[in-house]
Amino acid sequence: MKENYSISSATILNRIHSLMDRDRDKRVIVAIDGRCGAGKTTLAQDLEEQIGATVFHMDDFFLRPEQRTRERLDTPGENVDHERFLSEVLEPLRNGALELPYQKFDCKSQSLQEAVIIRPGKLCIVEGSYSCHPALVKKYDYRIFMTVSPKEQMERIIRRNGPEAAKVFESRWIPLEERYFSVCTVEGQCDCVINTSKF
């Protein structure tokens, strides 16, 4: 049954602890999807600090320039390299891999960086928009959708990225996200919805 919170770290922690206690030998993988500016990264950082979670960021899996075809970008949810994330991170996590070597995408250079080796713990958090893409959504033990009011969303993005970058979010990134949320019914696929709006 879907739960709705205004945000309650304690409730989220309790739910995750119960998943971890259910099978002490099984790795628990949690997705945090939702609107930009809603607090996905902040929640992931809180869980990392409080439980020692290993955090993976979907921002590290943006499309490489050669992947950005018109056909792909016209398809909802396809402006992230979910294929590479699935094969290099999510499937190995599910299969109990003790080490994950993968390359992060660097937005400034528009290229993949040298491979890093991650040694994931029992709890893994995948945070970022498109983490609940249809090709990935069923691979998680728990899915969180974070939302925020449009007005507060823009205020947070302006504070975080500056007014010029906020215009790009408003004209490009937010419409792409909203189309993905709508067409892929992302909120409906999640186990809980967290609304961080204050007004």
- Convert the pLDDT of each residue in 26-82 to its tens digit: 899 999 999 999 999 999 999 999 889 999 999 999 999 999 999 998 999 999 999
Average pLDDT, the chain: 92
Distance CA 32, CA 43 (A): 8
pTM of the prediction?
Answer: 0.92
What are 82-140's pLDDT values in tens digits? 999 999 999 999 999 999 999 999 988 999 999 999 999 999 999 999 999 999 999 99
The structural domain count of the chain equals: 1
> CATH number for the domain including 113?
3.40.50.300
Q: Residue 46 is part of which domain span?
A: 3-195
Distance CA 86, CA 31 (A): 13
Distance CA 14, CA 12 (A): 5
Answer for the pair 64, 150: CB distance below 8 angstroms, yes or no: no
Answer for the pair 143, 191: CB distance below 8 angstroms, yes or no: yes
Nearest to 51 by CA among 97, 94, 99, 17: 17
Instruction: State what percent of residues in the chain have pLDDT above 90.
Output: 84
pLDDT of residue 9: 67
